[in-house]
Amino acid sequence: MIVKNAELETVCGITSKLPENGQIEVAFAGKSNVGKSSLINGLMNRKSLARTSSAPGKTQTINFYAVTGRRETKKEAQGMVSADEKVYLVDLPGYGYAKVSQNEKQKWGKMIEDYLHKSSQLKAVFLLIDIRHDPSANDKQMYDWVLHNGFSPIIIATKLDKIKRSQVQKQVKAIKQGLQVEKGTRVIPFSAETKQGREEIWSVIEGFLDAE
């Protein structure tokens, strides 16, 4: 996807009504400071549209980023043609932040659950895990919770540039084992610094566009 335009279109808080978008949505979940905003910025080719922060738990809303881009699509008997397409990248609140009250966490959980159940356009949930560490209890809980809500998470192993190349496969295996992922679950290593993994993630998203 060659991104032509990207903008924050809708922000939903606890009492907000979810938007009824006409294009597909893919959501991104992950604990605080896992690099979610950096990933979304990287996918959109923007530096700071999705706000990054050193303060954990900053994302307290569901943010809908509208991305319009051009890619080569194959149409029957017509060969390769270019087409503009639109997709929504949906940033979910970060989890596992200790300074947020339990009551607040429950409200966020209900908000996310409502979205997972009610969005007619949501095609996939990407779960971000820091490749440097074994998955935490919160990560495992989130993975199981997304499964319970009807989606098989695609794992993005962030902060790839922080480890040696020789450690990558070992850490990917540790993530799969720690989460006890379903057979066939895809794990995509990603670096916000080098953008390694960006095209692979877009390829997954474009697969949902092709299925429309």
What CATH number is attached to the domain comprising 78?
3.40.50.300
Q: Residues with Cβ < 8 Å from 173, sequence gap 6 or more?
A: none
Total domains present in the chain: 1
Q: What is the pLDDT of residues 102-145, one digit of tens each?
A: 776 677 788 889 999 999 999 999 999 999 999 999 999 999 99
- Tell me the pLDDT tens digit for each residue of 138-151: 999 999 999 999 99
Calculate helix-pair angle for 36-44, 198-211, nearest 10 degrees. Answer: 70
Helix spans in 21-99 (H): 36-44
Percent over 90 (pLDDT), the chain? 71
Axis-axis angle for helices 168-179, 137-148 (nearest 10): 60
How does pLDDT run across 159-187, given as a tens digit for each residue?
999 999 999 999 999 999 999 999 999 99
Dihedral, CA of residue 48, residue 134, residue 198 and residue 60, to nearest 10 = -30
List the structure tokens of 2. 């060659």
Write out the E strands in 38-186. 62-75, 79-91, 122-130, 154-158
| The pLDDT of residue 134 | 96
Spatial separation of the C-alpha atoms in residues 10 and 74, rounded to whole Å: 31
User: Which domain does 90 fall in, by range?
Assistant: 2-211
pLDDT tops 50 at residue 69? yes
